[in-house]
Amino acid sequence: MRYFLCLMLLALSTVAQADDWLQFRGTSSPGVVQGPELPESFDQIAWTADLDGRGSSSPIIVGDKVFVTGCEGPRQDRLTVTCFAEADGKQLWKREFWATGRTVCHQKMSVATPTPASDGERIYASYSSNDVACLDLEGNLLWYRGLTYDFPNVSNSLGMSSSVIVKDGTVVCMAENDTQSMTFGLNADDGTTKWQLDRPRGANWTSPIAWPGEESIVLLQSSKGVTAIEPATGKTVWEYLDGAATIPSLTAVNGLVIVPSHGLTALKPGVSDTTVPEIVWQASQLSPSTPSPVVTENYAYVINGAGVLSCGDLSDGKRVWQCRMSGKFSATPLISGDRLYAINEQGNAQVVQLTPEGGEVLNSHEFGETVLATPSAADGAIYVRSDNHLWKIK
């Protein structure tokens, strides 16, 4: 009995908690916080931790640990994963790796733009150099893949930014570009290749998501549209081929896939023909710029290139209202309860009150540094990172 209880305790300690934030834009509903509501402003800073080098990836939170990737050196070829204590921001460990692939990227980006992912037991950190490192939560390296060794033309002169996700034991890595455009399914246990897909040629900075329904499906977005695949095999389940954006990423809620395509397009998996999704609506007035759309049970929210927040009705895509915010945005906002949390590129963080009738900026906070990374949230706290700092707001 004692042995059985020990096994149970061990299992419970390593399984991801409901409030964990395990990947880019969160674990279940991208950008929508499911746990306790977030603070009313960004002023309530609990702690600040120093970061080295550069990085525009989002923090991820697993249990009582916060993980952040970065890159250091004049060539950004020293890749890092740093772990902090969630309680007080103390650095617990830091690991460094040499990049094996190309580290050239646009000056606005960095090699550490892709956000890592976790299955609650391991950290999967990917970089613009197409290096993928897998560590346990204590920082021990479990495996490492330099995809450029096998596919030397998988690169992009502006840098790669697609974040990985892990679904049913498969790490899905999009490495799509103008020359050798591919997406990989890596075995989460050892990093070996389960499958690889030839993908549409064209620079693509979007990130995959897992379909939130019962079926095990991963959705890939590219300039050609959306492809739904089985994560175990890479087999195509259905395709939407009417084009899509290559920077803001798709999301899914209420059985709909909301795609940055012709503004926004809502898709529903097909019934009579399961290989072709049904187009529910298209809304040209809801056109996101760099930030990805955030969708709740009833509304879709997008930020355009002028910093205007638009709210659309999820039932028909009609624009309901607009609200001007300050600045230009790269980071995707978060929604918690009836508030939206957005940070512009100048580090000005704004909280917007959301109602069916309109949006109102309630307050703002100056971080005083450039912020390009999408914030993360767990257990009622917001985590914001710049190149040089990581903040916890609670």
User: Over the stretch 151-204, which tens digit does the pLDDT of each residue have?
Assistant: 998 888 889 999 999 999 999 999 999 889 999 999 999 999 999 999 999 999
As a whole number, mean pLDDT of residues 276-296 equals 97
335: phi then psi, degrees, rounded to nearest 5 = -125, 130
To 10 degrees, the CA torsion angle through 284, 248, 160, 218? -110
58 has pLDDT over 60: yes
Whether the predicted pLDDT of 13 surpasses 70: no
Rg for the chain, CA atoms, rounded: 20
Least confident span in 14-18, 296-300, 310-314, 353-357: 14-18
Distance, in Å, from the CA atom of 167 to the CA atom of 19, rounded to the nearest integer, reads 18
d(CA 123, CA 4): 27
Among 59-73, 114-128, 149-163, name the one with the lowest average pLDDT.
Answer: 149-163
Beta-carbon-side half-sphere exposure of residue 307 (alpha carbons within 13 Å): 16
Is 43 a residue whose pLDDT tops 90? Answer: yes
Give 27's pLDDT tier (boundaries 50, 70, 90).
confident
Whether the pLDDT of residue 7 is over 50: the answer is: no
How confident is the model over 372-379, as a mean pLDDT?
Answer: 97
Contact 110, 141 (CB under 8 A): no
Residue 298 has pLDDT above 80, yes or no: yes
pLDDT at 321 over 60: yes
- Which whole number is the average pLDDT over 40-62? 97
> What b-and-e string marks burial along 261-296, b requiring 16 or more CB atoms within 10 Å of the CB?
bbbbbbbebeeeeeeebeebbbbeebbbbbbbbbbb
Q: What is the mean pLDDT of residues 63-82?
A: 97
Which residues make Cβ contacts (< 8 Å) with residue 235, sequence separation at least 6? 229
Say how many C-beta atoms besides its own lie within 10 A of residue 309's C-beta: 24
Q: How many CB atoms lie within 10 A of CB 241?
A: 11
Task: Supply the mean pLDDT for the chain.
Answer: 94
pLDDT band at 3 (very low <50, low <70, confident <90, very high): very low
Residues 70, 80 contacting (CB under 8 angstroms):
yes
Is residue 14 over pLDDT 90?
no
The phi and psi torsions of 385 (rounded to 5 degrees) equal -130, 145
Check whether 2 has a pLDDT greater than 60.
no
- Calculate what percentage of the chain has a pLDDT beyond 70: 95
Where is 8: in which H helix or E strand? helix 2-14
Query: Closest Cα to residue 115, out of 49, 173, 191?
Result: 173
What predicted TM-score, i.e. pTM, was given to this entire model? 0.94
How many Å apart are CA 235 and CA 228, to the nearest integer? 8
33-49 mean pLDDT: 95
The band of 17, judged by pLDDT with boundaries at 50, 70 and 90, is: low
pLDDT band at 28 (very low <50, low <70, confident <90, very high): confident
- Residue 245's nearest CA partner among 287, 285, 276 is 287
**What's the average model confidence in pLDDT over 258-280?**
95
Q: What pLDDT band is residue 50 in, cutting at 50, 70 and 90? A: very high
| Measured CA distances, 149 to 102, 189, 311 (Å) | 11, 20, 45
Please write the tens of the pLDDT for every residue from 206-235. 999 999 988 899 999 999 999 999 999 999
Is residue 29 very low, low, confident or very high in pLDDT (cuts 50, 70, 90)? confident
- What is the reported pLDDT for 188? 98
Residue 166, both tokens: 């892990």
What pLDDT was estimated at residue 18? Answer: 63
Distances (CA, A) of 340 to 32, 301, 327: 9, 9, 16
